[in-house]
Amino acid sequence: MSREKELVKNSIIISIGTFLPKLVSLITLPIVTAGLTKAEYGTYDLITTMVSCVLPFITLQIYAAAFRFLVDARKNKEETETIISSLLFYIISISAVSLIAVYFILYKLSIILRLMICLYFFLDTIVLTMRQVVRGIAKNMIYSISAVVQAVSEMVLVVVSIKYADMGLIGLLLSFNIAFLASNAVLILGGRVFSFVKFKKISKSSIIQMLKYSWPLVPTVLSDWVLSISDRTVITIFIGLEATAVYGVANKIPSLLNLIKTTFTYAWQENASISSESDDKDEYYSRVFRTIYNITVGSTAMLIAGTPILFHVFIKGDYSEAYPHIPILFLGFFFSLLSAFYGGIYVANKKTVSMGVTTLAAAAINLVIDLIFINLIGIYAASISTVAGYLFLFIFRTVDLRNKYNMKFHLVRMMAYIGVLLVMCAICWQRIFILNCINILISIVFCFAVNKKLISKVFRSVFRKISK
């Protein structure tokens, strides 16, 4: 199977494990909000936020390093055993120490609630670790099956524990913990992880090597969080909660596209890592980038042109102020996905320090623009700063990778395509029916024009299969 086909196959498999959990969280949200008191829901929200913020610091993202190192060790069973054994020793040891601290920090809560939170923290850490392990040993199907099992278990248990048993926050955490256990069972048994665990294979040097790779990813994770959350925080402080609601609504559709980015990033990291030692890696990276750029720019054009329709279908209530921000945020997604592509190359070639530095700089630019312009142009400061942050990230990584690798870019063509997107945004902002129709026509022609080779190839492939 060609590398391109492998990338598509992995993207499809991983998408199952990415989209289903999000779908379940949306389905169960009304049940959770109805079944918990405001205080309980506030505690639950605080728990999930705390876990997402604290985990990168505690684990130093070592499971991300394990994935990358396991890709290189796929044909070496002894090395695989060393990596997995050392990883689990580190994760379990650091988790045990951290959970003792968490238990006593939350002394104001009941004992049962503290135990549930600690278990949630631990099982979430193990699930994240095991998923990177099974990806590292080329078992992406097990990755997705585990996510499906977790999502289905969570949905059923949440309905039973909250809607019927009326167990409140304890029932919600219990549901999550059982779902985590089910997911871990699939990962460990389906991936046969224990067959690689050997106590004598635990290696201090292996742990140090993985930590050297992974620690720069901590600011990267936190900077991604800043890029997505800082806008709302600044708006709330300087303008108010109503403006935050408008911006939140504007982000509603573009934020869903992050699921696509996550799916692609996971698949591309593996594909790029496998190709990192090949003689033609520069040519391959360049070829994939051109394909991804064309698909993304064409799709973004159609999203911008489709903004009037999307807004009418998905946005209800008095939120007309949110409309002009949506095309801007689509541009932000465009640069974000291209930056994620470059991030896969950094991961593949173990250049995580460069990855961390560029992401920190982008987050800083985002925040500075927010603070400077929020009182001058209001909510527009947030949407524009998002685009500016990701645009900087894209430009910086383009220049950096061009210096490190012999990647070929059609800069004039790339800039011309971005120019088309800006013109389409300007048309979209007019909110005139006939111009919206023209914009949709432009997007269709543009998308087909930039992707004509790929579309032709797909049609030929489908036609050959039908003919057979």
**Residues 397 and 248 both lie in one domain:** yes
CA triple 132-135-137, angle to 5 deg: 110
Structural domain that includes position 159: 3-211
Residue 248's pLDDT band (cuts 50, 70, 90) = confident
Domain co-membership, 54 together with 138 = yes
- Of 159, 188, 211, the residue that ends a domain is 211
φ and ψ of 275, to 5 deg: -90, -5
Q: Mind listing the pLDDT tens digit for each residue in 18-42?
A: 777 777 776 777 777 777 776 777 6
Could you report the per-residue pLDDT of 168-200, keeping only the tens digit for each?
Answer: 888 889 999 999 999 999 999 998 998 999 989
Q: Is the pTM value of this prediction over 0.85? A: no
246 lies in the same domain as 324? yes
220 and 202: one domain? no
Mean confidence (pLDDT) of the chain: 84
Using CB atoms within 10 Å of the CB of residue 204, give its burial: 0 to 12 exposed, 13 to 18 middle, 19+ buried: exposed
Do 182 and 297 lie in one domain? The reply is: no
Task: Specify whether 241 is located in the same domain as 382.
Answer: yes
Task: Mark which of 157, 177, 211 sits at the end of a domain.
Answer: 211
pLDDT of amino acid 468: 63
Q: Are 413 and 440 in a shared domain?
A: yes
My answer on whether 179 and 288 are in the same domain is: no
| d(C-alpha 292, C-alpha 298), whole Å | 10
* pLDDT above 70: residue 244: yes
Banded model confidence at residue 81, pLDDT cuts 50, 70, 90: very high
Most confident listed range (69-83, 270-284, 308-322): 69-83
pLDDT in tens, 342-394: 888 888 887 878 888 888 888 889 889 989 998 999 989 989 998 999 999 99
* pLDDT value for 416: 94
Indicate the number of domains in the chain: 2
Q: How confident is the model at residue 3 (pLDDT cuts 50, 70, 90)?
A: low
Q: Which is higher by pLDDT, 181 or 244?
A: 181
* pLDDT of 435 above 90: yes
Output 443 or 266, whichever has higher pLDDT.
443
Residues 205 and 224: their CA atoms lie apart, in Å, by 30
Report pLDDT for 185. 94
Token pair listed for 119: 């278990």
**Which of the 8 DSSP states describes residue 37?**
-
Does pLDDT of 289 surpass 80?
Answer: yes
Give the contacts of 334 (CB within 8 A, at least 6 positions apart).
Answer: 296, 297, 300, 421
Tens digit of each residue's pLDDT (9 = 90 or more) over 262-279 = 777 777 777 877 777 777
Nearest to 125 by CA among 163, 90, 149, 151: 90
113 and 256: one domain? no
